[in-house]
Copies of this chain bind each other. A is one copy, B any other.
């Protein structure tokens, strides 16, 4: 049996030199205020065991990791018709590129680039009275932590400076791929991204993805086994921006990263693993976080490949 706790501690030690590589995201001013050398890693097994190392109780801005949960919420409500408005292919471009959106008439490549997540948010707004509250409620239920909340400073900071996302939402609307006004979709989107959680909570929240759609402590399945598998497939092909190929090559796990420095990965039927370190590589993924996951799959020889 693998000594997970020992392995995590080994990684926390070996990762030290890498914590100074890369840069903290600066495009949301509020994100730049975080101490850049934080490091945390949490492993949550489908059998209930969990292991942690580093700052795993320190909350950070989950940013694009929220896209996993909003996608799950949308799949609960609309399933396959979802894919008439969003593709399932890797973008091959930066997460905030507008180029493909223009070439492909307003259909985002996948639900994990910003444009796709805006359409997912638009779908949620159609089905929910209070999208803000429901997303929060969903994460609180998944984790059984009632104090998970928005970081309103981050949400406000992004709303005030997020011209690129403003451009994207208006662009989607011009192609008729948003039902609601761009400002309303953006407001919900910025809030989802601004939720603050720690690695322990994220690993716990995402367990259904590694567990056939089931969150063990909840009565009802979150998703069907097939839906959970499909989100894993999307994570592998689209979850780490335009470095999915390199990430699959090095780490070999389905994963979703965020510019807050978090990465949530799964080994289906085994565990979720969440890592956090704020400095990002040139593709927008946590520099040390990616390295830590690579060390983990190398040491444990566990990956999907």
Contact = CB atoms under 8 A, between A and B. Distances in A.
Interface of A: 87-93, 97-100, 102-103, 109-110, 163-164, 166-171, 173-174, 182, 225, 229-230, 232-234, 236-238, 242-246, 248-249, 252, 254, 268, 301, 303-305
Nearest to A169: B167
10 contacts: A89-B92, A89-B245, A164-B170, A164-B174, A166-B170, A167-B169, A230-B249, A234-B245, A237-B248, A304-B304
Contacts of A167: 98, 166-171, 174
Contacts of A248: 233-234, 236-237
A304 B245 contact: no
Contacts of A268: 304-305
A164 to B, nearest CB: 4
B109 A102 contact: no
A90 B92 contact: yes
A303 B170 CA distance: 39
Contacts of A99: 98-99, 102-103
Given A229-B252, A236-B237, A237-B90, A174 B170 contact: no
A103 B103 CA distance: 10
Q: How many copies does the complex hold?
A: 4
B88 A229 contact: no
A224 B101 CA distance: 41
A163 B170 CA distance: 5
Contact of A171 (B98, B233, B238): B98
B92 A93 contact: yes
Contacts of A304: 268, 304-305
A271 to B, nearest CB: 14
Nearest to A283: B89
B90 A244 contact: yes
B245 A87 contact: yes
Contacts of A163: 170-171, 173-174, 182
A160 B152 CA distance: 29
Nearest to A238: B245
B245 A303 contact: no
The 10 A-B residue pairs whose C-beta atoms are closest, nearest first, are A92-B92, A163-B174, A167-B170, A167-B171, A89-B245, A166-B170, A232-B305, A164-B174, A233-B248, A88-B245
A103 B100 CA distance: 12
A89 B243 contact: yes
A7 to B, nearest CB: 18
A103 B242 CA distance: 15
A92 B99 CA distance: 12
Contacts of A243: 89
